[in-house]
Structure 1
Amino acid sequence: MEGAIQLPGTSRRIGLDAVIGLVPVVGDLLSGLIGSYLVWEAGNLGISRWTRARMMMNLGVDTAIGMIPIAGDIFDLMFRSTSKNMRLLRAHLDRHHPGTMVVEGRAA
């Protein structure tokens, strides 16, 4: 969602979130809907309510501010809710399911 394409001449990466977020309101709602799938799957994996609430907060902030024309598009480039939520999910999996731990892009 956030790092599929590297911007030419920079080290900055953008993804589907920033691209569909260019469509006012509908794009940001669609992006939020796609991001909510990760939160739902995290719940299925047994993540705590507190961590799931943090994930929903990340997604909610990204969706709400992303709806603001122009400023929201710039915010989408800086605030990466899906990446933050993946870090929270990976931390949970590393603690509770150490066999799934990933080290340097490879399964341990």
Structure 2
Amino acid sequence: MKIAVWNIRGLGSSSKNRMVRSLIGKEGISIIGMVESKHKEITVQDINSCWGNYDVNWLQVSAEEGGSGGLILSWIKDVFNLEEYHISQQWISATGILQQSNFRCNICLL
């Protein structure tokens, strides 16, 4: 299992989505945090274009008016089982179980 965090500086264009998908595929990423997504609302299509055929979940902090900011935490469902989460305008905290080791952990993205 690998975790990546990336200041994406805007997600949603087909070229950025391909870059994320390439990173996930080449590096075997299971959990990814994206900072500065610059998105008000991430859609299922946006997530699927990044992950391909994986069954994934995600949490999001919407970008501010004008497009700055935004956070996305996304993971493969078979790898991380979300138990609870907390979100503010500047961070995401996700608590759950890493399935392979049955390890309970908290992942924070800010």
- Normalised to the residue count of structure 1, the TM-score between the two structures is 0.30
Structure with more of its chain in helix, by fraction: 1
Larger Rg: 1
- Normalised to the residue count of structure 2, the TM-score between the two structures is 0.30
Structure with more of its chain in strand, by fraction: 2
